[in-house]
Amino acid sequence: MKANIVLLPGDGIGPEIVLQAQRVLEAVAARFGHEFEFSSHMIGGVAIDTCGDPLPQETIAACRNSDAILLGAVGGPKWDDPSAKTRPEAGLLKIRKELGLFANLRPIRLFDELLDASPLRREIIEGTDILFLRELTGGIYFGESGTDGNGQSESAYQSMVYSVSEVERIVRLAAKAAQGRDNRLTSVDKANVLEPSRLWRRVAARVMEEEFPDVKYDVVLVDAMAMHLINRPSDFDVVVTGNMFGDILTDEASMLPGSLGMLPSASLGSDGPGLYEPIHGSAPDIAGEGVANPLATILASAMLLRHSLGLEDEAKVIEVAVQSVLADGLRTHDIARGNASIGTEPMGSAVVERVSV
Ligand code: IPM
Ligand code: MG
């Protein structure tokens, strides 16, 4: 197979971890006889510094013409000034919107080898395997916003809007994902307070009743969900929710496996290329030191092979290689719990070696 993969390394540790994932993808291509062509483009702070725009037109065009996109991370203290004209994060939001990537898949999966790296007790997290589907191109992230007035009476607003079709498409995708897993779906909202959540709940219930009567379906309020994730995470299978709730709950859930450094994500639309990235951010505090954990990005590249290129066997090879690296006791600093650790590049090489056999 021939595939054209766009790399968006971005800021902070982004370039270091994307490089390791690229090496792994090249090893997969060599082993299975595929031809992957890579091209690197700018997004985020580095793009602001170079051309004053966190998402240059050239990057959008390259993404549109690609088969899949692998992103590192955007942002950092250098671009944090609240009065700045633009921000690195705006580039990420814009690429999601431009490519219609309405579904963000965030699997929370435990590695047996890392059970003791979790801040929670083993008996609570054992058996946890959740797939979050976060709506990614609507809701409060994209609502009308602005400021009014001056001085003490200055105010700011941002509205949360969801339409029937936006809810339908993400709930359908989540229900289909549930059918391929344990056949259970939980929808999370704040319908006791928010109008868009009441619409969400109504539409989701109808879609489930009419189209997926076989899937076991329930609804949970977002505040209660925050609690259940800590208390009984192994009770959930697929969870579907809106943009902001999904942002918050997946950071919380990412702590279940012990490190943000292990979790990949996929952002998909109804057609066109998908965008794959680690859940974690740009970690400016360790950028350039060669100690970042590349495994989340490497696992994101496995999701890329699976969802955008339909290469399931190749995706499994990467996932098995990551598991084998962990079973052999190799750890980057974030998952070493004070024991010996290796750097970003040796960790990448360890995966490459196991993929290449
Ligand atoms: C995420 C991030 C982004 C978001 C930021 C960087 C804009 O937190 O992907 O979860 O809020 O969506
Ligand atoms: Mg987030």
Query: Ligand 1 centroid vs 342 CA: distance in angstroms?
Result: 28
State residue 181 phi and psi, 5-degree precision. -125, -120
Query: Ligand 1 centroid vs 10 CA: distance in angstroms?
Result: 14
Res 116: pLDDT: 83
> Which protein residue has the closest C-alpha to ligand 1 atom 12?
247
Choose, from 218, 223, 235, 285, the residue flagged as catalytic: 223
Cα 68 to the chain's mean position, in Å?
14
Q: Which residues contact 147 (CB under 8 A, 6 or more apart)?
A: 154, 155, 156, 157
Protein residues whose CB sits closer than 6 Å to any atom of ligand 1:
75, 89, 92-93, 247
Ligand nearest to the backbone CA of 244 = 1
Q: Which residues contact 11 (CB under 8 A, 6 or more apart)?
A: 44, 45, 46, 72, 73, 74, 75, 76, 79, 88, 282, 284, 287
The structural domains of the chain, ordered by start, are: 1-102+270-357 (3.40.718.10), 119-256 (3.40.718.10)
Region class of 171: left (phi > 0), else alpha (psi between -120 and 50), else beta: alpha
Res 18: pLDDT: 98
Ligand nearest to the backbone CA of 72 = 1
189 is catalytic: no
Residue 265 CA, closest ligand 1 atom number: 9
> Which protein residue has the closest C-alpha to ligand 1 atom 9?
279
Res 1: pLDDT: 94
285 is catalytic: no
- Give 252: exposed, middle or buried? Use CB within 10 Å, 0-12, 13-18, 19+: middle
Ligand nearest to the backbone CA of 277 = 1
Q: Which residues contact 10 (CB under 8 A, 6 or more apart)?
A: 18, 43, 44, 45, 46, 71, 72, 73, 74, 88, 282
CB 74 within 8 A of CB 53: no
Query: What would the pLDDT profile of 284-315 be if each residue is shown by its tens digit?
Result: 999 999 999 999 999 999 999 999 999 999 99
Alpha helix segments (H runs only) across the chain: 14-32, 45-51, 57-64, 88-98, 122-125, 164-179, 195-211, 222-231, 243-253, 295-307, 312-327, 344-356
Res 357: pLDDT: 84
237 is catalytic: no
235 is catalytic: no
Choose, from 11, 162, 189, 190, the residue flagged as catalytic: 190
Res 30: pLDDT: 98
Eight-state DSSP code of residue 284? G
Query: Ligand 2 centroid vs 250 CA: distance in angstroms?
Result: 7
Q: How far apart are CA 74 and CA 94, in angstroms?
A: 13
Choose, from 49, 53, 182, 247, the residue flagged as catalytic: 247
Q: Largest Cα–Cα distance of the chain, in whole Å?
A: 66
- Give 267: exposed, middle or buried? Use CB within 10 Å, 0-12, 13-18, 19+: buried
Choose, from 141, 162, 217, 276, the residue flagged as catalytic: 141
> Which protein residue has the closest C-alpha to ligand 1 atom 1?
247
Res 11: pLDDT: 98
Query: Ligand 1 centroid vs 61 CA: distance in angstroms?
Result: 22
316 is catalytic: no
Q: Which residues contact 340 (CB under 8 A, 6 or more apart)?
A: 331
> Which protein residue has the closest C-alpha to ligand 1 atom 11?
247
Regions of the chain short of the pLDDT cut 50: none
Query: What would the pLDDT profile of 86-112 be if each residue is shown by its tens digit?
Result: 999 999 999 999 999 999 999 999 998
